[in-house]
Structure 1
Amino acid sequence: MNLVTTFSVLLLILDIVLGDCNSTMTTSLIKSQLSPLQKTIDMLDNGSKCRCRSINQVVFLAEIGSGRTYQKGSIWIYDKVVTNVGNAYSPSTGKFTAPTNGVYQFNWYTLSAPNTMSHPELFVNGKLKARQSANNSGSTKQWITAGSSVALPLKKGDVVYIMDSRFTSQPFSQWTTFGGVLLN
């Protein structure tokens, strides 16, 4: 017995107990009010009738697994993946490929080795979109950190990566990270 029928029977019994002479009209009125509710329940029970827009979750965070030197113009490879929901980041290439249109927030942090310059820049499809600078030309014992963040509208298939187009860089392992999230 479905919800509408059960409710209607209960109202019919209540009408009989209370002596309402017009139980047929009352039951008909209640059924007409509950019909849309029953259709909604049926749609939820039969997932095939209700096609809700799925939300594509995209979030990643990767770090450089060990200290290394990147030549000027080389894409930085963040090979130690912490999270990669949606699998849009490739730890073998260092590239993020947008799986859907939307606004994405990217963050990258760099720990630059002593006596080195690191200017990691964020590129989308080969075009510079944002910069960061960790000028560490001072002490041989000094480590410099820098961080940047940018929100960008991307189209499905856009490719995002980090590289230093001006200097050879020596970012230091797990303190050098690249991450992003689909905002909408």
Structure 2
Amino acid sequence: RPGPPGPPGPGPGGYIPSFYSPKIAFYAGLRKPHEGYEVLRFDDVVTNVGNYYEPSSGKFTCPLPGIYFFTYHVLMRGGDGTSMWADLMKNGQVRASAIAQDADQNYDYASNSVILHLDVGDEVFVKLDGGKVHGGNTNKYSTFSGFIIYPD
């Protein structure tokens, strides 16, 4: 014979106990160089708790609504007087931008960090918006990481 119904689950409108701590975090480096206008696919994954970051696409897909922190550092491959722009995107919308300028040096960094509210299925990624990104090794000069701060 079944017992009484349990408390609501953590779905929409559900109850999440204060002791519940979701485990969602990732950290990945960039092995391959990129240039032009494309999503950066950080393919050297060090940490991917929950497997919500997909290295083949370069995108993090939100599994649980809440507040998240993301940071990125992108090393420009310079030496030719150009600049590089890197944008953090949420569902195709720019949420943070950074620029590295080649001012008589071969390399420069573009970095930024954000705190965003995400809903289930939202995608977060870094998009190159012109310029050249250093890659080609496992030193992790260019990185992308994120984690949940707290769920809704």
TM-score under structure 2 normalisation? 0.78
1:170 to 126, 133, 146: 133
Q: Distance in 2 between matches of 1:110 and 1:121?
A: 10
1:59 to 25, 30, 41: 25
Partner AA of 2:100 in structure 1: A
More helix by share: 1
Identity fraction in percent: 30
1:87 to 45, 51, 60: 51
User: Runs of 4+ in structure 1 displaced over 6 angstroms?
Assistant: 49-52
More strand by share: 2
Q: Distance in 2 between matches of 1:100 and 1:84?
A: 15
Q: Distance in 1 between matches of 2:141 and 2:113?
A: 16
5+ residue gaps in structure 1?
Answer: 1-48
5+ residue gaps in structure 2?
Answer: 1-5, 10-15
CA RMSD of aligned residues (A): 2.0
The correspondence of residues 142-153 of structure 1 with structure 2, limited to 5 A, is 142-153=106-117
Q: Distance in 2 between matches of 1:171 and 1:120?
A: 13
CA contact (8 A) 1:56 1:86 kept: no
Partner AA of 2:119 in structure 1: K
Structure exhibiting the larger radius of gyration computed from Cα positions: 1
CA contact (8 A) 1:110 1:172 kept: no
Q: Deviations over 1:1-31 (max 9, x none)?
A: xxxxxxxxxxxxxxxxxxxxxxxxxxxxxxx
TM-score under structure 1 normalisation? 0.65
1:113 to 53, 73, 77: 77
State the aligned residue count.
131
2:124 to 160, 164, 170: 160
Query: Which residue of structure 1 lines up, in the alignment, with residue 13 of structure 2?
Result: none
Q: Distance in 2 between matches of 1:117 and 1:76?
A: 16
